[in-house]
Amino acid sequence: MRRPDRSTSRRTRRIATALYAASPGGQVHLRDRRTGQTTQMGDVTTDPSALAISADRSWIAFPVQRMRARTIQMYSVQWGSLRVQCPGNFCDQPALSTTGGYHAFVSHASPTNSGQRVLVDGEQGGQALVADLSHGEASRPSISGDGDLVAYQNGLTKDVHLWNRATGTAAGPLEGPGKDATLVQLSDDGRNGRLRIRCRHVRP
């Protein structure tokens, strides 16, 4: 059995893990470090490395395979319910705001279509387009705690950009001109982006 992939809430009380052996994907579990209780989720994730948990530990999101479609499922820790949050044919790479009320994800037109874009769903059910690049390589979304800012990776130019909900526009590259960067995580307040670029932290 391989080492489990995991996502940890920022307060590290709860840890979401995906355990898997020879078969593709993995069974998702949630462990509460305070009580020692481990809860098994209802579905097997197709990408154990794509687990996401909200900072308040109330929601877990992960991609699952449904026939020929890949969707994102969200699990409520309080209610134990699963709900599909991806109306498209092929979605992955979920990212959650502090309460899970906003979540960003990557959407593909189909499993055979290499084009992909970044979308964000809101608490009132509205959906906003964060990035739809002409070359179709928008990926790795990371969302601020309040859901107002989304950082994402331009896979072609190896740049990181920051989308603002209030203006509906994106700024960047955050790492400056002529440099490659990989997005790791956006801070809760959206003021800092942790990038893999010569071990530096970049403030947008």
Any idea what the CATH number is for the domain that residue 156 is in? 2.120.10.30
**Residue 71: its pLDDT value, please?**
85
Mean predicted lDDT score pLDDT of the chain: 76
The answer as to whether 148 is a domain residue is yes
**Residue 40: its pLDDT value, please?**
76
Encoded tokens for 114: 């290499």
The answer as to whether 145 is a domain residue is yes
- Statement: residue 167 has pLDDT above 90: yes
d(CA 80, CA 17) in angstroms, rounded, equals: 16
Q: With cut-offs at 50, 70 and 90, classify the pLDDT of residue 69.
A: confident
**Residue 42: its pLDDT value, please?**
64
Note down the domain range covering 180.
Answer: 85-202
Antiparallel, parallel or unpaired: β 116-121 and 127-131: antiparallel
DSSP-derived letter for residue 111 is T
The answer as to whether 2 is a domain residue is no
The pLDDT of 20-37, averaged and rounded, is 67
The answer as to whether 143 is a domain residue is yes
Q: With cut-offs at 50, 70 and 90, classify the pLDDT of residue 169.
A: very high
The answer as to whether 121 is a domain residue is yes
Burial 26-48 (b: 16+ CB within 10 A, else e): bbbbbbeeeeeeeeebebbbbbb
- Strand partners of residue 69: 66
125: Cβ contacts below 8 Å, ≥ 6 apart: none
pLDDT 10s digits, 178-194: 677 776 678 777 776 66
Q: With cut-offs at 50, 70 and 90, classify the pLDDT of residue 36.
A: confident
The answer as to whether 132 is a domain residue is yes
Q: What's the total number of domains in the chain?
A: 1
Which of these, 189, 150, 194, lies nearest to 175 by C-alpha position? 194
The answer as to whether 67 is a domain residue is no
The answer as to whether 112 is a domain residue is yes
Global pTM exceeds 0.75? yes
3: Cβ contacts below 8 Å, ≥ 6 apart: none
150: left (phi over 0), alpha (psi -120 to 50) or beta: beta
The strand ranges marked E within 159-199 are: 159-164, 169-171, 182-186, 193-196
